[in-house]
Structure 1
């Protein structure tokens, strides 16, 4: 009850304040200079406060909303997903000198074999008008003396439910590179003791990328599928910064061959 009373009183105060300034605007031409000067001082103070508030509010409301599920996907998709790193804030937003097999967020793990460890991962807040994901992931690599570097994204159990060889798995990403870099995406489908793998190279010169994995060309046992994950593999990543503004996955059935 007290909350309703407070809301009613706030609304009443706001209406009275608005009516007061409307009346002042209508009578400004005829007010005596002393009164006009006093009201002008009050108006400027109010204008500064309102300007600060609207500046912050406009900035916050222009950002992608935390937890947003908006994404590019075909109308025929029967499953779609954005990993947690790109959806909401992490308890630990950054890691330096990242050791191999280090988890980052929910279902993401970095693998490498370098001995001179100059790798860092950091979650960043997306602030561009074009961004759909609230957050991004930035990978910085300085010296790198290893032979491989990959970020593994484990897909949720829903991705495996009802999965058949008639499905196409699609990955959409917005990725920025400081220098040209080869990046490969490898889909892994575990069915029983076996793992089917499909590898696709991301377009080198594009920021907005889309690749598809057609399961028709695998020997996947549809009745035994229990796990899917994607390896993002970086070739020659030394002295580079890679920013993943967004990563999403979806699947769709395709027409019979």
Structure 2
């Protein structure tokens, strides 16, 4: 059975409509103005629908596919995650200027202490052959009169479910910057009234970055772990464009010695 809109009759009608609009285009210079005005109105209405179809089709047919959750996971992984902002389109395409504590989607929050914000934030479509994540996050920083800039990502509740001190939390990311800057990742784990923090510096000059957070070096109360989040901290970000092409997390047990 032919797919909807691709049967023989639909193809005949499409050909007839295409010939009719081609003929109208050829006659436009000699057409009566009253007739031309009516045809222009119909053409504009048609173009709006065609533009919408092309926009959605380009988004859905481009690689990588929207919603893709595929990425390499270490052996023994018992939890893994790619945040929604890197999996599919969010409601807001961008923000300018970005004020402190503003959320971008449901999982990402920007913090800074600038007096006057000259920051912009937007989601972009990844189209490179090497990309696994359908979308990326781009942060443009112009004049920066603050002392800190961080992007905070809330991990889902199941990240803290059954987490143990024997676990490693792995962060994999692809980050591009116009100019080299220092970037730190801080893992925060709330357990009861306390919060454990582990800081790792992301290797400079590398596009594909991996860091591990070893929970054995924390005072984690395994029975009271309730929430986890990550701070990405950017040192000296002024006049720079920062693009996070992908961001994924894995949790797996440390190898036994």
Superposition TM-score, scaled by structure 2 size: 0.78
Distance 1:8 1:224, change over 3 A: closer
Structure possessing the higher radius of gyration over alpha carbons: 1
2:197 corresponding residue in structure 1 = 197
| Counterpart Cα distance in 2 of 1:73 and 1:57 | 31
Describe the shift of the 1:256–1:96 C-alpha distance in structure 2 as closer, same or farther (beyond 3 A): same
Q: Structure 1 residue 149: deviation in Å?
A: 0.5
What is the CA deviation profile of residues 174-219 of structure 1, one whole-angstrom value per residue up to 9, with x for unaligned ones? 1100001100000000000000000000011100000000000100
Q: 1:22: which partner in 2?
A: none
Counterpart CA distance in 2 for 1:161 and 1:225 is 7
Which residue of 2 is the match for residue 179 of structure 1? 179
- Shift in Å at residue 75 of structure 1? 2.5
Aligned match of 2:170: 170
Question: 1:83-102 maps to which residues of 2 (within 5 A)?
Answer: 83-102=83-102
Q: Is the 8 A contact 2:182 2:235 kept in 1?
A: yes
Residue in 1 that maps onto 2:104: 104
TM-superposed deviation, 1:72: 2.2
C-alpha contact 1:72 1:172 (8 A) present in aligned 2:
no
Aligned length: 213
Name 1:138's counterpart in structure 2.
Answer: 138
Query: Deviations 1:231-253 (Å, cap 9, x if unpaired)?
Result: 00000000000000000011001
1:49-79: per-residue Cα shift (whole Å, max 9, x none)? Answer: xxxxxxx989964511100011122131111
Cα distance change, pair 13–207 in 1 and its aligned pair in 2 (3 A): same
CA contact (8 A) 1:78 1:252 kept: yes
Asked if the contact 1:150–1:232 (Cα under 8 Å) also holds between the matched residues in 2, the reply is: yes
Contact 1:110 1:149 in 2 (8 A): yes
**1:115/1:57 CA distance change after superposition, 3 Å:** closer
Provide TM-score, normalisation by structure 1: 0.78
Unaligned runs of 5+ in 1: 15-55
Bigger Cα displacement from structure 2, 67-76 vs 87-96: 67-76
What is aligned with 1:212? 212
Partner of 1:121 in structure 2? 121
Q: Using a 3 Å threshold, how does the CA distance of structure 1 residues 212 and 10 change in structure 2: closer, same or farther?
A: same
How many angstroms apart in 1 are the aligned matches of 2:6 and 2:135?
39
The whole-number CA distance in structure 2 between the counterparts of 1:136 and 1:6 is 33
Secondary structure in structure 1 of the residue aligned to 2:7 = helix
In structure 2, the residue corresponding to 1:150 is in which secondary structure? strand
Matches within 5 A, 1:45-60: none
C-alpha separation in 2, matches of 1:150 and 1:128: 26
1:228 corresponds to: 228
What is the distance in 2 between the residues matched to 1:57 and 1:91?
18
**Alignment check: 8 A CA contact 2:60 2:66 kept:** no
CA distance in 1, matches of 2:5, 2:242: 51
Moved more, 71-80 or 209-218: 71-80
CA deviation string 1:85-129 (max 9, x = no partner): 101101111000111000001211000001121001000000000
Residue in structure 1 matched with residue 67 of structure 2 by the alignment: 67
Pairwise CA RMSD: 2.3
| CA displacement, residues 14-69 of structure 1 (integer Å, 9 cap, x when unaligned) | 8xxxxxxxxxxxxxxxxxxxxxxxxxxxxxxxxxxxxxxxxx98996451110001
